[in-house]
A and B are shown apart, each in its own frame.
Chain A
Amino acid sequence: MKNLLYIVLILCIQEATGQAREFARINKETLTVDIKGQERLQVTNEYSITIYNEAGYSSAHFIDYEDQFRKLSSFVMIIRDKAGKKIKSIGSGKIMRFSLSQSFETGDANYVAVDPEYKNFPFTVEVTAVFDQKGFLNLPTWIPRDRFNVSVDASTLKVVIPFDYRLRFKEENLKSHNVESINKGKSNLHSWTVKDLSAVERDVTYKSFIEDQPKVYLAPSSFVLDGYVGKMISWEGFGDWFLELNQNRNTLLPGTMKMLDDLPNDDVETTVATLYKYMQDRTRYVSIQLGIGGFQSLPAKFVDERGYGECKALTNYMKAMLHYKGIKSNYILAKAGQDASNIKNEFPSNQFNHVFLGVVDNQDTIFLECTSQTIPPNYIGTFTDDRHVLWVDSARSQIIRTPVYDENENVLKKNANLNLDENGNANLDLDVNYNGIFFDKSSLFNTYTSEQLDDYNLSQFDYRDFTITNFEVDQNVNLAELNCKYTLEIQNLAKKVADRLILVPAMLQPMDFYIHPNEFTRYLEIRRGFTLDETIIVDLPENFRVDVKPESEAISTQFGNYEINISYELNKIRILRKVIIKKGSYEADTFDAFLDFKKKIEKLDNQKIVLGKKT
């Protein structure tokens, strides 16, 4: 589950019309994947790209990665000026290698990078890079046009395989597959070519841009990695390979075994909870990924001795303890992350970057995320919720879907008491309960430095002038409940006009804080539904009464519901505001309809409550 190289493109907003700007042009690119056997692979990337301006300069860099199994064996970069004259040639001696790891991790993966160090635009960069791989699990994905504002004249993918090797591939948005026999019948050459792809402007999301691109995914049918033979024609095969790689790694220290022996026999749920808590208290997440450690977990004993490990090691440790108590558990392989894209179910291949655990208990499954020290059993949060994952089970591995947290569970409940003075300033006592996926926030409070925490707390309010005078956080880990209490001094919360004060009902946070549709891409994805449930009690300054009070209103649409209820009683205003936003993704017409829904809410949110002086 090695974090390979992720090139993060920063999404910018663009106008919908007009010609796309062209920062660079790929004149010719050939990606050759030469599978020499189950254990040997050579990947050659040859390309020529013309860089037109500073904005395209990032495309002039060569960036890739190396690890224990994958080495850059030959490299040359040639820079030519606009007349085609060779300016310089950069060999492998000029390659910069730097570590990929952060303070809580170590590994043998390195970035390899070359900066052409030339800025006389336009100019052309020609690169030939050959990677030799000893053992492989993944094969490259070919996406000829993989970024915005870059055009492609011609790009070719060539895959050379032994005649008796079965290539697995999945093509999208193109049909140019060609197979021929080469090397006197000893090998087969598969190839795909695309021509004349013009540059695309950033007026769509990166996600939909990539979805629309012509591309070919490749996967091995059989492979060997560090001596472990695998078959990947089916999910069952892939799961079995993973099991074999990680078997016999469950020996525990005598002390731990004694603890387990002494543990009273209880039902599965209780035992799982006890052991999970034991694991959390004893360990911390530290990532060590050396050699095959990218795929194979460190032995349970390693974690037992040192009290740390990364996702595979911690998961394996937890599994070993459960196993010792006779409780069966299963690995679950996932593509983790709050915004992770879907895996391709129908194309068995290594599409994962994370592992966690599942325990079947009668009809239910208990999910155990082993990298956090502060979540309860069965809480997976936005890290692995609502997606296809591989449930690993000997000869029966299969794709399953993880639980969805819906708008009934994801509730942000706010109770506010506002003490308003006659100048419009206020003291706010706010109590916030985070439920469902909102419990994810607890990790902030467990990991942030005081500076980060201050910044975070300030970002939770958008008053023009305020001070947080008190903050408390309380977590009930067993129930996945989080509670924060804030005390604020707010200047000018109410607008002061002559002897009157004016307030709006959405005085805690406007809708924009929760949903901010992008008007350029005109695409909005609400990946998880949620509910905002607010009760605000405003204590009016003495001698003030309510002059104008908006009526109660409710809106109900396919996107969600909204309710506002304002009542006045004995020098107090009580505001009940409930917003339910359902899961969904919107574009074009539905995007407009959603915007309309949001505007309606905002209109009601911004109705005026006018307070006047009693006479």
Chain B
Amino acid sequence: MRLIFHLLVIVSPLILSAQKNVKFGDVSLAELQLQVYDQDSSASAVVLYDKGEFKTNGEFTRHRRIKILTNAGKSYANLALNIPSKGNISAFVFNLENGQIVKEKLNNSSIYSEEIFDGFHIYKIFLPNVKVGSVIDIRYMHYGIPFEWRFQETIPVVYNELKLERTQYVIFEKQQRGFGEIEKIAENHYKAENVPAFVIEPNVSHYSNYITKFEFQLTKITVPGYFYENISTSWPSISEELMEHYRFGQIIENSGYLKDSIKIWNKKLTEDEKIHKAYYHMRDEISWNNQNRLFVSQFQNKKLKNEKQGSSADINLTLIAMLKAMDVEVYPVILSTRENGLLNPLIPNLWKVNYVLAYVITDKGGIYLDASDKNLVPGLIPQKCLNGNGWLILGSNDGQWVSLNSSNVAETYQMVNIFMTDVQSPVAEVSQKISSLKYLEWIKRYKEFESDDRFRIHLKDKFQVDVESYQSKIKPEKAIVTEVFNADLDEAIIDLGQELLLDPFVFCGFASNPFKSVDRTAPIDLVSKLRERSTINITLPDNLIVGELPKSEAISTLNKGIVFVVNYSQLGNKLQIQYTFEINETVFPQEDYQTLKNFYSHIIDKIEQPIRFVKKT
């Protein structure tokens, strides 16, 4: 018996991958006998078969077969489907009992209708008697084309097929994502085989950008009693559609309840002052309700005026309207936030857009404005918006792509003075200026602590040394904070008797190598540009001399994408270390992974090097 199992495990992939004409409700013994998926022995479940079929009558049918391999895999037997009727769902569970295939049909009573939200129902299905080894077969149907079809999942897929019949009634466009291979069998007919599980890796913009799939966009639906036409066939046509939209373009043209205020301000202000006035009026008067939107909400004017709150679109489109009414050159920039995936300049898709910013053109160039967060300032946009390119709407049927990541840099400038007077417990005076994106990160953190004293204890944990007399000075109008503190460096020295070692990079922002996995399948996204500079001055007493200084060094990746510089110099009893770390490029292809990993390793190697002093007797 044992031997037979082994044989089956070995031959099973062949059997599994050969199947194309799979019948719903009919599984093979090999599928049930499979114990480990040999191409991915850690898989908790594997999709044996997944076929989607869109028919000329507008029906979409999906048949999906899953093999459960571990206890964790049993969760694939719990489903939530958003389809119109229970009657459109059927399923079977297959088990092997004493060498016999036992087939069990999903009973209607195992399908639970659940109201997720006012009036919005989904069906929850708990398939019966699912054990390790079970095979489950599910089929369901709905009308219309789904918004995407995944050929790859977070568990391996043996066979996946998609057939799309073209009809004059439902016209759609599709777009491929990801790196997996999709084979074209015939016109509008595709398949993928032996697709490995998609591994969600750290430092990725959003995994859905890279999983192998088709995204669909409806162009036109003409069925009796229903008509829909999407005119966004190009990005300029999206400009046009939006500029005519009553919850977008028409909002920009009307400064609404602020008309009177604008008249007064407009008379005596310079352009800079106008931008300043309008921006801070919106930012400070209105609170953001935590909703990211492209279109304004219903009764937007009333919301802003009476309730003093609104969505990002309510706030930013009204800001554009104000600036326009004050004759400032201003345009909307539309984009997709990070968790919503990247926009593709080649594929116009309005449904993928979920956010709007203002963009003013001044003598000094273009400036982004987002008034939805009280910590922002003109020119600074939140991290969620740093997602490739945005589409700048220059007018109806006009526009251009603009980089969202280029404008903001996370900055820290630091000065550290270390006094080695008492060799057993040196002290440090630290002052640093944190600005732009780094400030946004800082202020969010600081607000959890609310006071300098509480924040001091947090820094103690962070740097692993005793931090004393901490003071912060926040300049919210500039998005800058200056911090000054003293620290005892007992923990940063190692006394070896005749020698003394000092770790000078205690306050360095560089904590650890972010790249920990062996290899990589998706591009690397470091989110934002970064600049960190530090000058460390060390004052030595007469009884301490420098044993040796580590080597100065300047390294960078190709085209100065990431730059690291450390420079040691000595003048009498003063030592100076200058340190720079810059991220100038934020996205790297996966092929660069090993290079980047080694680069970061090298930096850590450098900043781990202590300075060796010799005690004079």
Distance from B555 Cβ to chain A, minimum over Cβ atoms (Å) = 16
A454 part of interface (Cβ distance < 8 Å): yes
Cβ–Cβ contact A307 & B72, under 8 A: no
CA–CA, A536 to B461, complex, Å? 27
Cβ–Cβ contact A97 & B128, under 8 A: no
CA–CA, A13 to B445, complex, Å? 12
Distance from B297 Cβ to chain A, minimum over Cβ atoms (Å) = 10
A282 is contacted by which of B44, B70, B129, B511 (Cβ under 8 Å)?
B129
B69-83: which residues lie under 8 A (CB-CB) from chain A?
A: 70-72, 74-75, 77-78, 80
CA–CA, A308 to B93, complex, Å? 14
> Given the interface contacts A54-B287, A118-B308, A281-B131, does A495 sit within 8 Å of B117 by beta carbon?
no
Cβ–Cβ contact A14 & B131, under 8 A: no
Give the most central of B124, B511, B609: most A CB within 10 Å. Answer: B124
CA–CA, A110 to B454, complex, Å? 39
Chain B residue at smallest Cβ distance from A117: B307
> Which residues of chain B come closer than 8 Å to A88, judged between CB atoms?
306
Cβ–Cβ contact B75 & A99, under 8 A: no
Cβ–Cβ contact A498 & B131, under 8 A: no
A306 part of interface (Cβ distance < 8 Å): yes
CA–CA, A103 to B74, complex, Å? 12
Chain B residue at smallest Cβ distance from A494: B608
B600 part of interface (Cβ distance < 8 Å): yes
- Please, what's the 1-or-0 string for A4-16, where 1 marks a CB less than 8 Å from any CB in chain B? 0000000011110
Cβ–Cβ contact B118 & A97, under 8 A: yes
Distance from A295 Cβ to chain B, minimum over Cβ atoms (Å) = 19
CA–CA, A284 to B127, complex, Å? 10
> Given the interface contacts A282-B129, A495-B610, does A99 sit within 8 Å of B116 by beta carbon?
yes
> Which residues of chain B come closer than 8 Å to A548, judged between CB atoms?
496
Give the most central of A106, A110, A454, A466: most B CB within 10 Å. Answer: A106
Cβ–Cβ contact B454 & A467, under 8 A: no
Cβ–Cβ contact B517 & A467, under 8 A: yes
CA–CA, A12 to B44, complex, Å? 38
A286 part of interface (Cβ distance < 8 Å): yes
A451 part of interface (Cβ distance < 8 Å): yes
- Please, what's the 1-or-0 string for A347-389, where 1 marks a CB less than 8 Å from any CB in chain B? 0000000000000000000000000011000000000000000
A465 is contacted by which of B44, B604, B610 (Cβ under 8 Å)?
B604
Interface size class of B (residues with CB under 8 A): 35 or more
A233 part of interface (Cβ distance < 8 Å): no
Which of B107-115, B320-328, B474-482 is found at the contact surface with chain A? B107-115
Cβ–Cβ contact B200 & A96, under 8 A: no
Distance from A138 Cβ to chain B, minimum over Cβ atoms (Å) = 24
A441 part of interface (Cβ distance < 8 Å): no
Distance from A301 Cβ to chain B, minimum over Cβ atoms (Å) = 12
A498 is contacted by which of B308, B547, B604 (Cβ under 8 Å)?
B547
> Which residues of chain B come closer than 8 Å to A610, judged between CB atoms?
496
A106 is contacted by which of B70, B112, B517, B601 (Cβ under 8 Å)?
B112
A451 is contacted by which of B200, B309, B547 (Cβ under 8 Å)?
B200
B199 part of interface (Cβ distance < 8 Å): yes
Cβ–Cβ contact A450 & B197, under 8 A: yes
CA–CA, A284 to B609, complex, Å? 53
B616 part of interface (Cβ distance < 8 Å): no
A266-311: which residues lie under 8 A (CB-CB) from chain B?
A: 281-282, 284, 286, 288, 305-308
B303 is contacted by which of A106, A117, A281, A491 (Cβ under 8 Å)?
A117
Distance from A10 Cβ to chain B, minimum over Cβ atoms (Å) = 9
A514 part of interface (Cβ distance < 8 Å): no
B115 is contacted by which of A97, A118, A119, A282 (Cβ under 8 Å)?
A97
A432 part of interface (Cβ distance < 8 Å): no
> Which residues of chain B come closer than 8 Å to A288, judged between CB atoms?
112, 126
> Which residues of chain B come closer than 8 Å to A106, judged between CB atoms?
112, 114, 124, 126
Cβ–Cβ contact B496 & A608, under 8 A: yes
Chain B residue at smallest Cβ distance from A372: B71
B512 is contacted by which of A21, A464, A498 (Cβ under 8 Å)?
A464
Distance from A453 Cβ to chain B, minimum over Cβ atoms (Å) = 9
Cβ–Cβ contact B513 & A465, under 8 A: yes
A502 part of interface (Cβ distance < 8 Å): yes
- Please, what's the 1-or-0 string for A468-489, where 1 marks a CB less than 8 Å from any CB in chain B? 1100000000000000000000
Interface residue SS majority, chain A: mixed
- Please, what's the 1-or-0 string for B302-337, where 1 marks a CB less than 8 Å from any CB in chain A? 010011110000000000000000000000000000
Give the most central of B42, B71, B609: most A CB within 10 Å. Answer: B71
> Given the interface contacts A305-B128, A450-B154, does A519 sit within 8 Å of B608 by beta carbon?
no
> Which residues of chain A come closer than 8 Å to B309, judged between CB atoms?
117-119
CA–CA, A346 to B77, complex, Å? 43
Distance from A325 Cβ to chain B, minimum over Cβ atoms (Å) = 22
A458 part of interface (Cβ distance < 8 Å): yes
Cβ–Cβ contact A458 & B516, under 8 A: yes
B518-572: which residues lie under 8 A (CB-CB) from chain A?
A: 518, 547-548
CA–CA, A373 to B307, complex, Å? 52
A496 part of interface (Cβ distance < 8 Å): yes
A286 is contacted by which of B78, B131, B501, B517 (Cβ under 8 Å)?
B78
Cβ–Cβ contact B80 & A103, under 8 A: yes
CA–CA, A96 to B118, complex, Å? 6
A76-130: which residues lie under 8 A (CB-CB) from chain B?
A: 87-88, 96-99, 101, 103-104, 106, 110, 117-120
Distance from B494 Cβ to chain A, minimum over Cβ atoms (Å) = 6
Distance from A609 Cβ to chain B, minimum over Cβ atoms (Å) = 11
B67 part of interface (Cβ distance < 8 Å): no
> Which residues of chain A come closer than 8 Å to B605, judged between CB atoms?
465, 491-492
> Given the interface contacts A54-B287, A99-B115, A308-B126, does A119 sit within 8 Å of B307 by beta carbon?
yes
- Please, what's the 1-or-0 string for B120-155, where 1 marks a CB less than 8 Å from any CB in chain A? 000010101111100000000000000000000010
Cβ–Cβ contact B126 & A286, under 8 A: yes
B451 part of interface (Cβ distance < 8 Å): yes
B51 part of interface (Cβ distance < 8 Å): no
B612 part of interface (Cβ distance < 8 Å): yes
> Which residues of chain A come closer than 8 Å to B116, judged between CB atoms?
98-99
- Please, what's the 1-or-0 string for B442-462, where 1 marks a CB less than 8 Å from any CB in chain A? 000000111101100110000
A169 part of interface (Cβ distance < 8 Å): no
CA–CA, A119 to B124, complex, Å? 38
Chain B residue at smallest Cβ distance from A285: B74
Cβ–Cβ contact A98 & B306, under 8 A: no
Cβ–Cβ contact A282 & B131, under 8 A: yes
Cβ–Cβ contact B511 & A464, under 8 A: yes
Distance from B482 Cβ to chain A, minimum over Cβ atoms (Å) = 22
Cβ–Cβ contact A87 & B609, under 8 A: no
A228 part of interface (Cβ distance < 8 Å): no
- Please, what's the 1-or-0 string for B423-466, where 1 marks a CB less than 8 Å from any CB in chain A? 00000000000000000000000001111011001100000000
> Given the interface contacts A464-B604, A491-B605, does A373 sit within 8 Å of B115 by beta carbon?
no
CA–CA, A446 to B610, complex, Å? 43
A448 part of interface (Cβ distance < 8 Å): yes
A520 part of interface (Cβ distance < 8 Å): yes
Distance from A110 Cβ to chain B, minimum over Cβ atoms (Å) = 7
B222 part of interface (Cβ distance < 8 Å): no
Cβ–Cβ contact B513 & A464, under 8 A: yes
B289 part of interface (Cβ distance < 8 Å): yes
A497 part of interface (Cβ distance < 8 Å): yes
> Which residues of chain B come closer than 8 Å to A308, judged between CB atoms?
126, 128, 130
Cβ–Cβ contact B128 & A307, under 8 A: yes
> Which residues of chain B come closer than 8 Å to A118, judged between CB atoms?
306-309
Cβ–Cβ contact A13 & B117, under 8 A: no
> Which residues of chain B come closer than 8 Å to A307, judged between CB atoms?
128-131
CA–CA, A339 to B78, complex, Å? 29
A447 part of interface (Cβ distance < 8 Å): yes
Chain B residue at smallest Cβ distance from A306: B128
Known contacts A119-B309, A498-B547; can you find 17 more A-B pairs with CB under 8 A? A15-B454, A119-B286, A119-B289, A120-B307, A120-B308, A281-B131, A306-B126, A308-B126, A447-B72, A464-B511, A466-B516, A468-B516, A469-B518, A491-B604, A496-B608, A496-B609, A608-B496
Q: State the 4 A-B residue pairs at the shortest beta-carbon distance, nearest first.
A: A119-B287, A307-B129, A119-B309, A306-B128
CB<8 Å pairs between A and B, sample of 8: A13-B449, A15-B451, A119-B307, A450-B42, A450-B199, A497-B501, A520-B454, A520-B457
